[in-house]
Amino acid sequence: MATVNVTDASFQSDVLDADKPVLVDFWADWCGPCKMIAPALEEISDEMADKVTIAKMDIMENPDVPGQMGVQSIPYLVVFKDGKPVAQQMGAAPKNALKSWLESVL
């Protein structure tokens, strides 16, 4: 399963009401580090599809949710469980570090 794109309009149903944990990647097209971690997140999405949904939210096209969450720097990764943020990480990291972090919070 590939990553899913989330919008301000779909955030409630795609993330907060999801039946399994969701990792939201807040990103923007102009962000170099965001582009660097995108392939790793795709791979993690495939490898851990049964445990977590990986979602991407473009902060330029969808300013409401990132604004409400106080996103000031990207990439900004937030894991949601049962509709609540349970862990966050800022900045780019290698795939193995991202996967280890994600596994530790699931």
- Write down the catalytic residue from 6, 31, 65, 102: 31
- Write down the catalytic residue from 6, 18, 24, 34: 34
What are the percentages of helix, strand and coil residues in the chain, rounded to 5? 35, 25, 40
Q: Could you confirm whether 31 is annotated as catalytic?
A: yes
Q: Could you confirm whether 34 is annotated as catalytic?
A: yes
CA–CA distance from 27 to each of 17, 51, 73, 79, 92 (Å)?
22, 22, 9, 15, 11
Question: CA 34 from chain center: how many Å?
Answer: 11
Q: So which residues are the catalytic ones?
A: 31, 34
